[in-house]
A and B are shown apart, each in its own frame.
Chain A
Amino acid sequence: MQRIGVFVCHCGSNIAATVDVAKVAEMALMEPGVVHAEDYQYMCSEAGQAKIADAIHEKKLSGIVVCSCSPRMHEATFRKAAERAGLNPYMVEIANIREHCSWIHKDMEEATKKAVILMRAAVAKVNLNTPLKPGESRVTKRALIIGGGIAGIQTALDIADAGYEVDIVEKTPSIGGRMSQLDKTFPTLDCSACILTPKMVEASAHEKINIYTYSEVEKVSGFVGDFTVDIRKKARSVDMDKCTGCGVCQEKCPSKKAPSEFNRGLNTRSAIYTPFAQAIPNVPVIDREACIKFKTGKCGICSKVCQAGAIDYEQKDEIITEKYGAIVVATGFDTINLDKYDEYAYSQSKDVITSLELERVMNAAGPTHGHLERLSDGKAPKEMVFIQCVGSRCSDDRGKPYCSKICCMYTAKHAMLIRDKYPDVNVTVFYIDVRTPGKNFDEFYRRAVEQYGVNYIKGQVGKVIPQPNGKLLVQGSDLLDNKQILKEADMVVLATAIEPNPDVRKIATMLTASIDTNNFLTEAHAKLRPVESPTAGIFLSGVCQGPKDIPETVAQAGAAAVKAIGLLAKDKLMTNPCTAHSDELLCNGCSTCENVCPYGAITYEDKEVNDHGIREVRRLAVVNSALCQGCGACTVACPSGAMDLQGFSNRQIIAEVDAICR
């Protein structure tokens, strides 16, 4: 029989205002095995933990139930407290009477009744708890960064500077990401490339950093400290070691009609290409879909002009397998597809563009060499209209419910830059709200309005109608003056919502990292663990976790690096002892459990058993507890009930069911 102590937390008034905590403690004393019960203001405080330790000593407790907040919050705290007092930490169970009770119920009697039942279930479970001992697993001192944008680069640099090996896997032919596509950055108007390029160079030159561009993560197995990852290095058709980056192949390539991804399809590129001048590595790839040699077998000009003999049409995709201790996701974002927003005439007129396209238009390396001009006829615009929140803060399923966060600021930036360079161009911005909560942000926006005379109109645009004269008729409303506005514009720029990189879902599935309804990766705790995924060993860097601007991204990238470094600095990790184990006398050796184990943790051995006097060799399931992650799939698949899960055993769960239904 256990000797159980029950500790009921008031959590200030968080619990005590709705649950009669003294009553819960009083009722606990009537439960089997309970020899001690008390309530206290804050069980998680030092004084509260001391009460637990004292009771363990004085009452010789063998098990503990803490009725408090979610185990996801303080289970670890109370387990450590119990361990310090000499009790096995796995003899502690939490009854969640805050998140699952006091916070959602108003009626005190009802909430108290429920709290008592939750306490009973926890007591019933502890009665069947057994001391568990964690195992150990080793840590591979190498980190994988998925995504080579500014977030991935910064995380890689920080981890590498701490002395650990880092691999960056980037899908496109070059690192740099979205930031490389931007012209200037707010609120300082730095040239984006000027501040990014040195980082890219630093990363590529760093002896601890290894960059796989034009590569994708194909498969991930293992667990924190010991991931095994297959990386597909797509065939570049160019030998990285031989290529000198002279660029002659790109010049001579006769196929120049492929839309340039880097310039958002606003112009074209050759079939053999580097995405942009500062690309790292400065080694082109052949786009096999566009290449004449690959399509018809004829051509081969690039191979002929390449002095270094680097062109290799026979190159194949290569899969490399690497081990990592930590993985950082830095997959970034894209702008949403505008098919559902046809009222803005994006598909009908070349002069309706997204803000990211405007970045390319404004950039000296862009399709217009940095001249602001209409993409339809190359004429200089006189009237420009910016439409905010296209697909952001959207209540229907056309767009996204969230604020994309960066649009207000980059629109102010665009407006200011245009007014600065082209003072004769009128700029009008239609907005719902202008959101500028950042250092020097509001000052920046006010400069756009006050010094640069940008015309801000609070109101939505209903429709953009291309006119026969090539102009765009913008129908909007001014909510402050309560009037309809009809405006003829030469160009319309849409502040298009951003969304996580479409590949992130696939990657999250491989990593078993959770993802929210908007495809942003979920953090372990919204406030307290914002750069960690709930899946141990997976960290989040940049916009994959939520919309961010560059300084926030860099800050978070550093934070993710610190968390990864904290993991890599350890030689060994304690493993979760809540693993499956098989009862030798009950096991049929039928292989059903093996078939559902996602970790390959179950194998079969021929073992001699003594089954009540019958000695025989049997085929038995054996669980490798270093591989087992404790999901429990095998326990249900097992027809004889031989397979059970420590910490969540059949009898423990049934005891909880019985206590709740009593």
Chain B
Amino acid sequence: MQELINRAKELLENGTVARVLGWKAGDLPYNPEPAYFESAESLKDFVYNGFCGANLSKYMIEASKLEGKTLVCLKPCDTYSFNQLIKEHRVDREKAYIIGVGCKGKLDIEKIRNQGVKGIESIQGAEITDAADELKIQTIYGEKTVAYADAMLERCHVCKGKEHKIFDEEIGESKETKDGERFDEVSRIEKMSPAEKFAFFQKELSKCIRCNACRNVCPACSCRKCVFDSNKFDSSQKANVDSFEEKMFHIIRAFHVAGRCTDCGECSRVCPQGIPLHLFNRKFIKDIDELYGEYQAGDDTDSKAPLTNYTFEDAEPSIVGKRG
């Protein structure tokens, strides 16, 4: 982290960048938040640890409009989102100085809590440079240890890889965290009966409070004005249980980002109700891979997106019923 801060200071001082987009500590040991730093002194509040899960690429939409370059810290998976935003002309590459930061998996406080850890005062082992495989957690009930891997976000278990797809320089080591298959959970649901599937999703979606956190954090949901906020589709009646948008929100949102979603997993990370929203996006990704060939949004900045592309031989929609 110190290397990162030093480099950021240097770039601020020599005028290469006008500001730094990173994370600062929150009011609790596990909730750092995205922050801008405009002076070398302010960088004393800069943090980068296992809880810095937030994907900063979306912030670059607004930062692209500011004077001068913005130094942005992007984890490997965040760089896919940044590429995708370049492709959609939403960010200005010239306005970004990208430091690809290392990643050894990001932590999920809920996973720690679920292991019975309560009253957390401080956490050691979450530092990015720390080679430890364990988190030492000081709680009001004494010290607890949790294996790092057991505290990781779901997305890190199916990590796309530790390669930065776009960067100006890279700082920090990464560690492979993938120990699961990305589509296992989707496949499990696909095998259910219609009634089971419906019960599963009804249970999950019934938790939704339409706080819009998923939409607001999503780098693909970067519309200036969301269709759910405009009257173009007669879908602007917020918080009305019976309304069209309420029931279809997550399906429509998933469809709108289909072929554009990089599977960064931010939607699920921020959902206060713990809805596994990535299961919608990942279903589309799985279908796209299977039907139209493997496609990873954000892998590059110029390939044709699956939904703006076609072949004469494409599968017919009836394949859905035939696949069983």
Are A595 and B308 touching (Cβ within 8 A)?
yes
Most chain A beta carbons < 10 A, residue from B87, B89, B231, B257: B89
Question: What distance in Å separates the Cβ of A365 from its nearest Cβ neighbour in chain B?
Answer: 42
Answer whether A592 and B305 are a contact pair too, CB < 8 Å, given A586-B224, A616-B65: yes
List the 8 closest A-B pairs by CB distance, nearest first: A640-B223, A595-B308, A590-B88, A641-B232, A641-B227, A639-B256, A596-B308, A586-B225
Identify 25 residue pairs between A and B in the complex whose beta-carbon atoms are under 8 Å apart, listed by A's number. Answer: A586-B223, A586-B224, A586-B225, A587-B224, A588-B222, A588-B223, A589-B89, A591-B87, A591-B89, A595-B304, A595-B305, A595-B308, A611-B224, A639-B223, A639-B256, A639-B260, A640-B223, A640-B224, A640-B226, A650-B233, A651-B231, A651-B232, A651-B234, A654-B234, A655-B234
- Output the nearest chain B residue to A618 by Cβ-Cβ distance: B224
Q: Is B230 an interface residue (CB 8 A)?
A: yes
Which residues of the other chain, B, contact A655 by a CB distance below 8 angstroms?
A: 234
Known contacts A586-B232, A604-B89, A640-B225; 10 additional CB pairs below 8 A are A586-B224, A592-B308, A596-B308, A640-B230, A641-B227, A641-B230, A650-B232, A650-B233, A651-B232, A651-B234
Q: Is B118 an interface residue (CB 8 A)?
A: no
Which residues of the other chain, A, contact B234 by a CB distance below 8 angstroms?
A: 651, 654-655
B 238-269 to A, binary, CB cutoff 8 A, 1 in contact else 0: 00000000000000000011001000000000
Q: Is A167 an interface residue (CB 8 A)?
A: no
Q: Is B28 an interface residue (CB 8 A)?
A: no
Residues of B near any A CB (own CB < 8 A): 65, 87-90, 222-227, 230-234, 256-257, 260, 304-305, 307-308
Are A654 and B233 touching (Cβ within 8 A)?
yes
Question: How far is B89's CA from A595's CA once the two chains are assembled, in angstroms?
Answer: 13
Question: How far is B256's CA from A639's CA once the two chains are assembled, in angstroms?
Answer: 6
For the residues of A in contact with B, the DSSP-based class is mixed
Which residues of the other chain, B, contact A590 by a CB distance below 8 angstroms?
A: 88-90
Question: How far is B232's CA from A595's CA once the two chains are assembled, in angstroms?
Answer: 22
Are A588 and B224 touching (Cβ within 8 A)?
yes
- Output the nearest chain B residue to A611 by Cβ-Cβ distance: B224
Which residues of the other chain, B, contact A644 by a CB distance below 8 angstroms?
A: 232
Which residues of the other chain, B, contact A639 by a CB distance below 8 angstroms?
A: 223, 227, 256-257, 260
Q: Which of A174-209 contact B (CB under 8 A)?
A: none
Question: What distance in Å separates the Cβ of A651 from its nearest Cβ neighbour in chain B?
Answer: 6
Are A591 and B233 touching (Cβ within 8 A)?
no
Most chain A beta carbons < 10 A, residue from B222, B223, B231: B223
Answer whether A585 and B224 are a contact pair too, CB < 8 Å, given A641-B232, A654-B234: yes
Are B88 and A592 touching (Cβ within 8 A)?
yes
Q: Is A637 an interface residue (CB 8 A)?
A: yes
Question: How far is B236's CA from A651's CA once the two chains are assembled, in angstroms?
Answer: 12
A 116-139 to B, binary, CB cutoff 8 A, 1 in contact else 0: 000000000000000000000000
Q: Is A619 an interface residue (CB 8 A)?
A: yes
Question: What distance in Å separates the Cβ of A466 from its nearest Cβ neighbour in chain B?
Answer: 42
Question: How far is B231's CA from A586's CA once the two chains are assembled, in angstroms?
Answer: 11
Question: What distance in Å separates the Cβ of A662 from its nearest Cβ neighbour in chain B?
Answer: 14
Question: How far is B211's CA from A135's CA once the two chains are assembled, in angstroms?
Answer: 45
Which residues of the other chain, B, contact A591 by a CB distance below 8 angstroms?
A: 87-89
- Output the nearest chain B residue to A635 by Cβ-Cβ distance: B232
Which residues of the other chain, A, contact B260 by a CB distance below 8 angstroms?
A: 639
Which residues of the other chain, B, contact A637 by a CB distance below 8 angstroms?
A: 307-308
Are A619 and B223 touching (Cβ within 8 A)?
no
Which residues of the other chain, A, contact B308 by a CB distance below 8 angstroms?
A: 592, 595-596, 637
Q: Which of A607-662 contact B (CB under 8 A)?
A: 611, 616, 619, 637, 639-641, 644, 650-651, 654-655
Question: What distance in Å separates the Cβ of B254 from its nearest Cβ neighbour in chain A?
Answer: 12
Question: How far is B232's CA from A639's CA once the two chains are assembled, in angstroms?
Answer: 12
